[in-house]
Structure 1
Amino acid sequence: MASDTARPPAPAPVAALVQMTSGINPAANLETIDRALGEAAAAGAAMAFLPEMSLLLDRDRMRSAAHIVREADSPWPAALQAMARRHAIWLHSGSMPLLADAGDRRVNRSHVIAADGSIRARYDKIHMFDVTLPSGENWTESSAYAGGAALNVVDTPIGRLGLSICYDLRFPELYRALVDRGAEAIAVPAAFTVSTGEAHWHLLLRARAVETGCYILAAAQAGAHADGRATYGHSLTVDPWGAVVAEATGQPGDDYRLCLAPVRRDAIDRARGAIPLARSREIRNIEL
């Protein structure tokens, strides 16, 4: 006999942001990632997110060159694939430096890896961080890195995931394009400087969430790194209404911090229903 009792809704999938202080030793970074994924899986996370340059954070281009090869020759993707299989968890790699598939330029590349170890998506960071900050810091990523030329949105256990990296955050048109391709959540792995993080990190992430009606999942580098830089941290999950639902507020004595939050489909529907941005754009399709 069929029961009249309604089944409770399935629990929302949990995303685990891994905040790290990656250094110049890829083997040590991989050990940290492996431990973090084990903890995330034990906590019931469906998918883990690493920060930008999770495998190697080194601004010394001569020193780092020994580790940076084309993806087909790199041991890093295979190592992450093996971890995803072993821990039975989906994984967003944050990003890693690789040589471009052609030529001698580098790319800053993300991978989305399924729990069976298969690579489901790749994304090369589009916007290069070429700035001179009020703090005196000067960064010229384009002197070594080539920007990507393609957007990517991929199906994952937490929904349709749009891909971006760090400085991309400042370009809202990219995030609008990801939503037009069906994104329900957007990854923003980052290594924000302290000065820009204090000024803009929370502001920009919350704005992108509200503008898109998406969850924003921003795993960040944090603390003092072996290459001499310092990063802001504050890994954030922001819901589609702009509320910060999880935040890593410090760097522990250990070398990573885990930040867990559910990704709720009903929160996406409520935000988009309350402020129907897509419909309003169609109605007000005027030339500016």
Structure 2
Amino acid sequence: MRGCSKLLPLAAVLTGGVLPDIRSSFLPFFVPVRPSNPYRITSRSPKPSSLRTVFAMASAFKTEESRFPPAVQLPIPSVSKFKIALCQLSVTADKARNIAHARKAIEAAAEKGARLVLLPEIWNSPYSNDSFPLYAEDIEAGGDVAPSYSMLSEAARSLKITIVGGSIPERSGNHLYNTCCVFDSDGILKGKHRKLHLFDIDIPGKITFKESKTLTAGQQPTIVDTDVGRIGIGICYDIRFQELAMLYAARGAHLLCYPGAFNMTTGPLHWELLQRARAADNQLFVATCSPARDASAGYTAWGHSTLVGPFGEVIATTEHEEAIIVEEVDYSLIELRRSNLPFQKQRRGDLYQLVDVQRSSSQ
């Protein structure tokens, strides 16, 4: 426990001053592992061959221990190739119009052969703290009190596609959430992701916004098995936290979907950078979808919805205007890139460890 004096201040910073209880917290964190010397050979030990040295080093690195619980094997998806659509939509103050407009975009994407459709963050409402309570829907109740949710479910069922439904304001009891719903090709809700990291930003003279004024943070990561592979879900600001993406990769995700609405200050600097970093670090596909830019809106989105491949390469992207892009995802590239750069076999479990608190507490 000698290293705890150094670990606890770091943990306090990462958790906002509150140290997490591994038995109840759901978010991943890093635990430094007691260092060892993989090169130490006692005077009594015979000098190993070069091959034995390599194996000894690999064993000492404890690669399999760099993830706790150990990373799962990448599952074999039901399809190796499919088309994904990113629907960069204009958003107005007219909720009924926004819902009808999104439905038309989904239909257009399906007609172009898309088996997976991704919508933007907060596509049924203006992006503002004043609007969130007014446009929020009770997803659990469904029906007339959740028209956006109901449309997505019906569209997925009738078009026989998977929909990652961007995000909408959700009301649950006394709380509001920024929520993404994932529907399978039967229109069944497969997962519901509540934004984990709330967007609180203050750049004087540029932009100030505090989602925490109205929204509540979600409590658990969301990974969903679908007809088009295993998908990890994040919403906008979630993409800035690499631990979440690493957790999804360790759980066997093929694709990470981030509906998002970066702004005119951080968008030009960070939007593509973060997408490519998450894809390259974890060697999987990353898809993002933004609202179209509206310079007259109170919050102006950057746009530039993008699909990135497992080598960090931009496969397709939009500009700032309304657009639908349909592009092929080829999962065979994941294994190819992981053989080109075998990160999974090179990690140093003797030095660091990613702890999936949710999985570890359930074992």
Shift of 1:226: 6.3
Q: What amino acid is the match of 1:13?
A: F
The answer to which structure, 1 or 2, has the higher relative contact order (CA under 8 A, 6+ apart) is 2
Conserved in 2, the CA contact under 8 Å of 1:17 and 1:259?
Answer: yes
Q: Which residue number corresponds to residue 148 of structure 1?
A: 218
1:33-71 Cα shifts (integer Å, max 9, x gaps): 11111111111111100010112124151x553332422
Deviates more, 1:214-223 or 1:19-28: 19-28
Conserved in 1, the CA contact under 8 Å of 2:82 and 2:330?
Answer: yes
Q: What amino acid is the match of 1:53?
A: I
Conserved in 2, the CA contact under 8 Å of 1:162 and 1:186?
Answer: yes
Shift of 1:81: 0.8
Shift of 1:134: 4.9
Shift of 1:278: 2.2
Matched, 1:215 2:280: no
The two structures, once aligned, show a CA RMSD in angstroms of 1.8
Matched, 1:245 2:245: no
Q: Which residue number corresponds to residue 171 of structure 2?
A: 99
Deviates more, 1:234-243 or 1:136-145: 136-145
Q: What amino acid is the match of 1:240?
A: P
Measured in 1, the distance between the counterparts of 2:295 and 2:195 equals 22
Shift of 1:225: 6.3
Matched, 1:48 2:117: yes
1:162-199 Cα shifts (integer Å, max 9, x gaps): 00010011100110011111111000110110111101
Conserved in 1, the CA contact under 8 Å of 2:184 and 2:227?
Answer: no
Pair 1:95–1:25, CA change in 2 (3 A): same
Conserved in 1, the CA contact under 8 Å of 2:224 and 2:231?
Answer: yes
Q: What amino acid is the match of 1:65?
A: P
Matched, 1:70 2:149: no
List aligned pairs for 1:1-288, cutoff 5 A.
12-61=81-130, 63-71=131-139, 72=141, 73-100=145-172, 102=173, 104-224=174-294, 227-251=297-321, 256-281=322-347, 283-287=348-352
Conserved in 2, the CA contact under 8 Å of 1:214 and 1:268?
Answer: yes
**Structure 1-normalised TM-score?**
0.89
- Mark the runs of 5 or more structure 1 residues left unpaired by the alignment: 1-9
Q: What amino acid is the match of 1:31?
A: A
Shift of 1:75: 2.4
1:98-129 Cα shifts (integer Å, max 9, x gaps): 113x3x22101111111211111111000011
Q: Identity percentage over the alignment?
A: 29
Query: Which structure would you say has the larger Rg?
Result: 2
Conserved in 1, the CA contact under 8 Å of 2:293 and 2:302?
Answer: yes
**Structure 2-normalised TM-score?**
0.71
1:254-275 Cα shifts (integer Å, max 9, x gaps): xx31111111111111111222
